[in-house]
Amino acid sequence: NSKVIQTPRYLVKGQGQKAKMRCIPEKGHPVVFWYQQNKNNEFKFLINFQNQEVLQQIDMTEKRFSAECPSNSPCSLEIQSSEAGDSALYLCASSHRDRGNERLFFGHGTKLSVL
């Protein structure tokens, strides 16, 4: 169904540690999204990119996260100093961003546990 590849599948970190996860979008998709899904199945938009440029991001992402989508390399999302509340499933999605079809395709996610 989806060819978005996320690594690692699971990530365990202590509080204060950096946590980095990667995403390879589907080939030909210029737009990449990161979402956080908590244990209550609530989705929170974090940031999106078009090619290498940030389109939108929320305040939390701006302050505590660093994210990039360099050309010819996987996209990445890194939490600079993990907190217990960051434990969640981090989902990457990509899209054509064609006005006629803005469908998003999600990867399997990286499940982060902050101990």
Site of interaction with other proteins (CB under 8 A): 1-2, 33, 35, 41-43, 45, 48, 55-56, 89, 91, 93, 97, 100-106, 108-109, 111
Minimum distance of other proteins from residue 103's CB (angstroms): 4
Q: How far is the CB of 68 from other proteins (least distance, A)?
A: 19
| Nearest one of 107, 88, 84 to 25, comparing CA atoms | 107
Tokens of 54: 């940030």
Q: How far is the CB of 81 from other proteins (least distance, A)?
A: 26
Could you tell me which residues come within 8 angstroms of residue 103 by beta carbon, excluding any fewer than 6 positions away?
Answer: 95, 96
